[in-house]
Amino acid sequence: MPAPTAPDPGEVPDSDLVKRCQAGDTRAFDALVTRYRGKVYAMTYHMIQNETEAWDLSQEAFIKAWRALPQFKLDSSFYTWLYRITHNVTYDWLRKKKIQGDGEFDDSHTEHRVAAGAETVPHGDPAPDVAMKRMELGERIRDAIAQLSPDHRQVILLREVDGLAYEEIAEVVPCSLGTVMSRLFYARKKLQELLKDAYENAD
């Protein structure tokens, strides 16, 4: 089970760096950026599956974090707080682009992936659904994740990929613990349904 990163022994704790940031030390913030950029980028990338936009959104999340740091009271861990900002930035982006939900974005994305798989087989060969089954498992998983609604996608990623506890997820999203559990349950069931034949076709 993945666990949230704990600083290595000897590494400056997040809380110390945060306090230095709050005193205006931009080098301390640079250290925090370096520590969490790979995680924030992975989170945004898994959410929107576009490298360039994920890069920009990750940067936006850190800029917003810098602006908000004076108000951060260290009443939660820095990474949970940062994930919350990342979550907001990603959702704002999805909202702005009007691709939230199960509609246009997800359908087009799926069709795009199927078409890409289908192009690898000659005409007259298996139909796109068969080509999709042949897709590599990782691609199937990314595709299935993209078909979840952003709410379900976010929760399953925070739990399975980032290893956040329910209380932390509830704080990031934010929502109740019951909602976290319901969303996790639904997301897993949906993924099971979408990937039900994946393992037997896995490479």
Tokens describing residue 99: 């691709």
Which residue number, 121 or 141, has a Cβ lying nearer to another protein? 141
- Cα–Cα distance, 38 to 17 (Å, whole number): 18
| Binder of another protein out of 8, 9, 10, 34 (CB under 8 A) | 34
- At residue 42, φ and ψ (nearest 5 deg) are -60, -45
In sign, the C-alpha dihedral spanning 102, 103, 107, 108 is negative
Q: Which is nearer to another protein, 51 or 125 (CB)?
A: 51
Establish if 20 lies at the interface with another protein (CB under 8 A).
Answer: no
> What is the C-alpha separation between 45 and 39, in angstroms, rounded?
10
Asked if 62 touches another protein (CB under 8 A), the answer is yes
Which range binds another protein by CB under 8 A, 74-82, 83-91, 117-125, 175-183? 175-183
> Is 2:165 a contact under the CB 8 Å cutoff?
no
Q: How far apart are CA 202 and CA 194, in angstroms?
A: 14
Does residue 7 interact with another protein by CB under 8 A? no
For residues 110 and 147, the answer to whether their CB atoms sit within 8 Å is yes
**Minimum Å distance from CB 124 to another protein?**
20
The residue whose two tokens read 């939230």 is 100
- Interface residues with another protein (CB under 8 A)? 1-2, 26, 29-30, 33-34, 37-39, 41-42, 45-46, 50-53, 55, 58-59, 62-63, 66-67, 97-99, 104-105, 108-109, 111-112, 115, 137-138, 141-142, 145, 156-157, 159-163, 165-166, 178, 181-182, 184-185, 188, 191-192, 195, 198-199
